[in-house]
Structures are given as C-alpha cells and as structure tokens.
Structure 1
Amino acid sequence: MDESIFYIPTPSKNSASHATSIHTSHHHITFRASSSPRNGAYLTGFGPGERLFTCSATKALIEVYSWGKEGVDQRIPLPEALTCLTVVPQPVSASDELEKLTKFRLPWLLAGGTASGKIYIWELTSGDLVSVRDAHYQGITTVKFSPCGTFLVTGGDDARVIVWSVVDLLTDDKAKPYFSITDHTLPITDLLLSDSGVVHDLRLYTTSTDCTVRVYDVLSKSLLTTFVLPYGVNCVAKDPANRALYVGLVNGMIRTIPLYTINKTTSVLESIGGMNKIITIDNDVNLANTFTHHHAPITQLDISLDGTSLISGDETGVVYASDIVTKQIIKTFTKCDSAIAYLKVETLPKSIDSGITTVDKKHRMIPPFKRVLRSDEEHNLFVDIPGHHLSDNSSFEQWLDQKQQEEVEFKNLSDVASEVKQVEEKTYNKDLELKLQRLSAVYSELRTKHEQLIKDHANLLDRVDNQ
C-alpha cells in the first residue's frame, strides 16, 4: 500500500495540478491548465474512473477532469460562478460484486457556494438542480459534507457557520438550518468534520482569521472548546487517532494543538477542553510544537493515514511533507506558480498503483446541469444498493436489519447489556455448609490455643524478671 497526494493551485499562467506518491518517487498524473479558487476543487479518488471537479471564481463554469486524461473532459455551464465546491459519494456503498458492475458510477451530489452567499446543489446522475438557498450575507468561503452525508456545512465571509440537514435541503423548499453558529467575529477560513462515520459522534472544527479554532458537537448543537492562538488561522487538519490538531497560521507557521495531556498528579491521560472551555495557546518559544519551514501563509493541510507525516501547502505554491515527531522536511513536491487551493492525501493499494494512469473510455459522462429547480413530484433517484445479486430482494432487507442492529449497539454506551436474563435459584448445598462449620470450629480452637500460648509466654517473662 502506498500513500499519494493531490494538490491544485489557484489560477495563474502555467497552472497545473499534480498527483504523486509521498513515500516513493512515483508520479501518477498531471492535469494541465487546471486551477481553482481556494476550496474550489474536489478529487473523488485516485485511479481509473475517478474525477476532478474544479470551478472558476470569474466564470460560471465547472471543469471536470477524468483520471488518466491530462486535459479537460467536460465543461459544464452554471447559472452563477462558484467560489467553492464539494462532492458527496453515493449514500450506500456497494459490495464487491456490485462494484464491478458499476465501477465508474457517479457521486451523488455536488454542492457549491457563490460570492452572493447562495448554495447550489445538483444531483450528478441526472443533472437536476435540487436545492438553492440564500445562506450567507456575504460570500461563501468553504463548503463541506459530513463523511456520512447527513449534514452540509457552509462558512462565509460574514463570520457565520451554518449546518444544514441534507434531507431537509432536498425535500423542503423552506427548510431552516439545523444549526447556526455565530461565535466567530471574522471570516471563516476552513471547516473540518470528524471522519468517525457515526453521526452521534460527529465533531465540527471551525477556523477563522479572528485567531480562534472552535470545536462543536453537531448532534447536540453545543460548543465544546475554543482554542485562542496568537495569529490568524487559515486551515486545520486532525490526527487520525484524535490526538492533536494541526493549524496553519497566517505567519507561515504550523502549530500543534494537543487534545490530550497527562495529569502530573494522578498520571492519568485526560482530554483537553470540553464544557465550553476557552484555552489560550501561548507563543511556543522553544518551537516544541511548531513547524517553521514555510515562509508564507499556510493555505492547505492534510495528514497521512498513520499520523506520522504532515502535508502542507502555502501561498507561494510550495508543498512539503514533514515528519510530525522530528518536525523535519522529508519530501518536497513540484512547486506551483500560485497558492495551493486544494490538497488531498489518500492511500492506494498496490493492485491499482501500477495501472493508475489508465482511463476507461466507457465511463459515464455527467449530464448538463439544470438552471432551474426541479418541479416534478416524482423523481428517480439512482442509488447503489449493496447485495451479492442485483435480483436478490432479501439482501436489502438484511442490510436494513444490520444497520438497525448497529444503531442499537452504539446507543448502548455502557458495558452492561440491556437485555434482561432470568437466573435460576440455586439449591441449598448442605455439604458446603458442613465444611464451613468445621473450618470455623477449627479456626476458633486454633485461635484459643494461640492466645493461651501468648499468656504463658508473658507469665514466664514475669517470673524471669522477678528472679
């Protein structure tokens, strides 16, 4: 297994995006003349059948690149220019056999934000415009789907973060936001949602130029922790094991924020923050928790699967891979002519690494995007249903039962099972009772003899002293 990085710059004369390995010298592909505004690109994955979506802040256009082709594969016109975009895959993952039949299936939804504060959501399989919302008072800077596809989170220049329910956005034209955050005072720069895959444990990390990083519990709509840093924050990445946060600052430094610490009194590992605490991150004079190899504001961050390598890009187009323990540069990637707009790290199995630059000409094209909202009541939704056979109707029911059982197991947070069991009454054992009485009698006799011996010894010592 190998790990690869993909990064794309902002528009420039000779803009190009690259996909290359982190640990080896293998270069996968270069997409020529590809660029996007910050947070305005999304790569669905590495390998044949995957796509790169980019938008232009000046043109109402989305460009789609297919893996294996260096040039643009499709240009899709839009009703309004987008400033950022994101894509969510199909809500149901396919099994191995179904994966072979629909190897190049399209993602589910594409969401984009505009400079006027609107959100547009299209369904990629049909091209239908399924939702339009006036979300922010100013331009939208970043938009992210939760890993489970339940929520859509947007952040804008108006210092607001809004959490939307995807189901409400698709079904209700007058749906209100699920959660609106107004704690920040300056524009939002980045959003990060935890990748636990369970909505009950979903965490939202927000960064802003007001020098704060805030952590929220999405389901309970509560603020957990506020980290205050000495400089404005541009981006954030999280350790895969939730041990620390890594934030890119406007002064070109990357700061580590530990999420756990050892209590010096009890020597117990304790979590940092929670209960709406405000924690101030002071200047790191000894640079024990600071990466200092960049000389320009950090724009993008990501971390490797094992949490040992930190990938960072800045406004000058420099991209580094750094060792988290030693904080030294382990690899320098091809430099871009402008700031890094999007960066993604993903693992690759060896089975596809050898033929990763190939392309299948039979992959499905994306239909043109509609400019008006879908008005018909009936709508065909294309979803991949898991199962060993497409004609097997029982496989879907089994999948529903499995998901219901997983939900019940997650809600039982304690180690005590909630099931009630009847225990038969034990019969009275006379033999054990007789043995216990016999041992008690022997113990009492032995204790009496011991006390008598102590008295005799004391009397003997008194007679010796009197003589």
Structure 2
Amino acid sequence: MAASVLEVVLSSDAGGSLWNCNVWEPRSGTSLTSYRGGNTSARGLCTLAGEYLLGAQLGKNYISVWELQRKDQLQQKIFCPGLVTCLAASPNGLHVAAGIGESIYLWEVSTGNLLLTLNRHYQDLTCICFTDDSSHLISGGKDNLVLVWSLCSVLQVNFAHVPEPRYVWSRHTLPVTDIHRGVGGPLSRVATASLDQTVKPDLREKNFQIDKDGSQIFKGHRNQVTCLSVSMDGTLLISGSHDETVRLWDIQSKQCLRTINHKGPVTNAFLMVASANMFNPDSRPSLNLPKFSRYLHSSEITENEEGGAITLSLQHNKKESQESYLKKAEELYSVMCTAADKHLLGDGENTKMRVAELEDEVKTLKKINRDLYDFSVQVLTKQT
C-alpha cells in the first residue's frame, strides 16, 4: 500500500515518548512509519532534497538528521550555538537555514560549511521559509518584523559587504507566528500570521471577511491551532493543535474527515509528497551528507587553496533538447530591436526572415509549454 501513496502527513508532538515524528496516510489515518529519537520543536521539522529528514530538538541545541528510509538510526546531529526556534531547507536542496536566537544560520549542504549568520532581527526568530525557486529566504520574529533576504545578495564574498534584507515588512503589532508563501519565486505572494490575531496577505489581495453564519469556519479543535497544510489538489486541509490532535478536513464541505490523536501538543503537521525511497529500506541517498560545522566558515583563501562557495545540483542532470521558451523570446526581442534599427538604415530583408523563423519557433514552444502544463494538471488532479 505504501508504494502507491502520493501524499503523506508528517506530524510531531511535544509529549511523544515512542517516536519523534510519524508518517500517516491522510485519508485512512494509517500510520506508515515513524522516526525515533527525542521530540521536535514547533516549526523545526523539514525534509532535505527528498532524502533526509531534519528535526530541531525541543529544548536542546542540536538538529537531528535521519535518512528517510532508516527510521531508527540518526544519520548525524548538527550541534548549534543555541536553541533552534525554526528550521527550513531550500527546495533545491542546496542550503539549510535555522533561526537561533535573533540570528539566521545558513549552511551549505554540499560541504557542511556554515556560510554566514544574518543579524537583523531584534528578538528571537519564530518562523523561516524559502521561496519555491530557492532564491529568497523569508523570516519572521518576535520583533513583529518579516524580512525577505536575497541569497544572491547575502552570499557575496565581500568583507565590506554587510548583508541587508531586500524587504522589511512591519505590518504586525505583535510577534509573527507563521509565514506562508505561494509559488512564483521572487514574485510569489506571502501571507503572515501574528499574535495580534490577524493574517496579513500580500498587499495586492483584498480583505477577507468571515460570513455572519460562520460557514467559512472549520470547527472541531478545542485549543490553539498551531499548523496548517493543504493538499496538492486543494481538496484537503490538515490542522494540528495544542488539543493533541491532527485533523483532516474536506475543504469544500468544511467537515472533519478524520482525527489523529497524539500524546502531547502538536508541534508540526504538514502534507508532503512521499519520496520514492521513503518506504524502501534497501535504498540509499544519492548524496552523502557531510558533517555540518557549528563554526562560521572562513572566507579567507590562501595562495595554494581554492575557495568560495560550491553550488551543486542534487537533481539528476538533464540535457535539454532545445532552448527554453524564455530564451527564445529574449532572442526574438533582441532581433526585433536590431531589425528596427536596420530598417531605419534600409537593410532588413535577412533580418525579417530570421524574425519570421523565430516567431514560428516561439509558437511551437508555446504549444509544447501549454501541452506540458495540461498534462501536469491531469497528473496532479488524478484521483489515487
């Protein structure tokens, strides 16, 4: 049964003595597997490159690392200079970020080097996440601030360069408790939640009002709700609460489909796509995770050393058989500008032919892109 699972629920609580976090099949509530060793703090659980599970330990200054298919044995412990209050891994698997006190610690996965610390918050961090293209990092803290960091900017090797956030949002009046970002890289929309009892969506969004009859409210939890997650097809909602339960909701009807009991307040609960090796005990990660350093990596380079950050792609190499649509469009625009200049000089016959060829290629690429999109939608929405 596990082999056919598309999405699973990962959850952890503050009182579990038998396991650190558990993996559930959302619709049946069946426990598929569990990872042992300690307890994970709130917003301290994440997966890395679909091959490792990282959990910031509750009340302790280290991060536990498991291989997804080896549940009973820790791969390593990442020791930190303080308690980890939030944790995130970049979607491309290149970096791991942790909030420790008022600082953000950023590690490079391929080397284990601690690349830098970002110090711009004035109080402890509460939540952190990457954009879906791994280009930006978003952090929230008890200082009521939400900061957006460009990795391209903060990773510059320049002794005179002091990393600064790209954006600073100060729309909340009390500590920020959670951050949700959409898709689209730097153009994605962001919503932030706070103890001031508000959710601040992107400024482009309109205000959301609750109906008087309460038909838009999911009712069932008896205590504070601490985490929410939506399925890929947008039909299911997962919620975790201090009432020691994780609930599965049908979004359309607002009905609770299933309740999963825990042994303590739920600290993490989210839906994720089950990786191929999660339920295969014989598989091994394609990347050997190095030992993570607890000390800042020196950027000084001697004459006989090669230095600088190393960026590796953890995905399989893929050779593109043709240029991307965006590259073709840029080339078309460049040629059209050149054609306009040549037209003023009375020489544009060959250029016009080239423009016509590129326009045909762009039309073909648009069709391919549209077909791929339609196919992806069909696969994601297909009932399993």
Question: Structure 2 length normalisation: TM-score?
Answer: 0.75
Hey, what's the Cα distance between the residues in 2 that align with 1:65 and 1:348?
Answer: 15
Note if 1:213 corresponds to 2:139.
Answer: no
- Cα offset, 1:56, TM superposition: 2.7
Structure 2 equivalent of residue 151 of structure 1: 136
Hey, what's the Cα distance between the residues in 2 that align with 1:45 and 1:321?
Answer: 26
Contact kept? 2:94, 2:313, Cα under 8 Å: no
Change (3 A) 1:383 1:289: same
Structure 2 equivalent of residue 289 of structure 1: 216
Which digits, 9 at most, give the CA deviation of each residue in 1:322-360, with x for residues without a partner? 111222122222x222222222212348xx49x724243
SS in 2 for 1:167: helix
- Cα offset, 1:385, TM superposition: 8.3
| Bigger Cα displacement from structure 2, 337-346 vs 173-182 | 337-346
Hey, what's the Cα distance between the residues in 2 that align with 1:88 and 1:387?
Answer: 17
State which of 79, 82, 104 in structure 2 corresponds to 1:80: 82
State which of 195, 198, 217 in structure 1 corresponds to 2:183: 195
Change (3 A) 1:357 1:294: farther
Structure 2 equivalent of residue 220 of structure 1: none
- For this pair of structures, how many residues does the alignment match? 325
User: What pairs with 1:80-119 in structure 2 (closer than 5 Å)?
Assistant: 80-90=82-92, 107-115=93-101, 117-119=102-104
Which digits, 9 at most, give the CA deviation of each residue in 1:426-450, with x for residues without a partner? xxxxxxxxxxxxxxxxxxxxxxxxx
Which digits, 9 at most, give the CA deviation of each residue in 1:227-269, with x for residues without a partner? xxxxxxxxxxxxxxxxxxxxxxxxxxxxxxxxxxxxxxxxxxx
Change (3 A) 1:19 1:280: closer
State which of 339, 358, 365 in structure 1 corresponds to 2:289: 365
- Cα offset, 1:109, TM superposition: 0.6
Hey, what's the Cα distance between the residues in 1 that align with 2:324 and 2:223?
Answer: 50
Hey, what's the Cα distance between the residues in 1 that align with 2:329 and 2:176?
Answer: 34
State which of 137, 143, 161 in structure 1 corresponds to 2:122: 137
SS in 1 for 2:201: strand
Contact kept? 2:34, 2:71, Cα under 8 Å: yes
- Cα offset, 1:155, TM superposition: 0.3
Structure 2 equivalent of residue 19 of structure 1: 23
Change (3 A) 1:302 1:330: same
User: What pairs with 1:24-423 in structure 2 (closer than 5 Å)?
Assistant: 24=28, 26-44=30-48, 50-71=51-72, 72-90=74-92, 107-115=93-101, 117-171=102-156, 172=158, 173-196=161-184, 198-199=185-186, 201-216=187-202, 223-225=203-205, 273=206, 279=207, 281-282=209-210, 284-333=211-260, 335-348=261-274, 352=276, 356-360=279-283, 364-377=288-301, 378-379=307-308, 381-384=310-313, 395=319, 402=324, 404-405=326-327, 408=330
SS in 2 for 1:22: coil
- Cα offset, 1:28, TM superposition: 2.5
Hey, what's the Cα distance between the residues in 1 that align with 2:194 and 2:106?
Answer: 25
Hey, what's the Cα distance between the residues in 2 that align with 1:73 and 1:387?
Answer: 23
Hey, what's the Cα distance between the residues in 2 that align with 1:21 and 1:45?
Answer: 21
Structure 2 equivalent of residue 461 of structure 1: none
Identity of aligned residues (%): 22
Which digits, 9 at most, give the CA deviation of each residue in 1:157-210, with x for residues without a partner? 0101011111112115402110001111000011011123x43x3111111111
- Cα offset, 1:406, TM superposition: 7.4
Question: Structure 1 length normalisation: TM-score?
Answer: 0.62
- Cα offset, 1:151, TM superposition: 0.8
Hey, what's the Cα distance between the residues in 2 that align with 1:39 and 1:294?
Answer: 20
Structure 2: runs of 5+ lacking an equivalent: 302-306, 341-350, 354-384
- Cα offset, 1:290, TM superposition: 0.7
- Cα offset, 1:77, TM superposition: 1.5
- Cα offset, 1:23, TM superposition: 2.8
Hey, what's the Cα distance between the residues in 2 that align with 1:163 and 1:14?
Answer: 38
Contact kept? 2:43, 2:267, Cα under 8 Å: yes
SS in 1 for 2:43: coil
Task: Look up the equivalent residue of 1:203 and give its one-letter code.
Answer: R
Task: Look up the equivalent residue of 2:240 and give its one-letter code.
Answer: G
Contact kept? 1:67, 1:359, Cα under 8 Å: no
SS in 2 for 1:168: helix
Task: Look up the equivalent residue of 2:12 and give its one-letter code.
Answer: I
Work out which of the two has the higher radius of gyration on C-alpha atoms and give 1 or 2: 1
Contact kept? 2:61, 2:83, Cα under 8 Å: yes
Hey, what's the Cα distance between the residues in 2 that align with 1:403 and 1:10?
Answer: 49
Hey, what's the Cα distance between the residues in 2 that align with 1:313 and 1:155?
Answer: 20
Change (3 A) 1:140 1:380: closer
Hey, what's the Cα distance between the residues in 2 that align with 1:45 and 1:110?
Answer: 11
- Cα offset, 1:123, TM superposition: 0.7
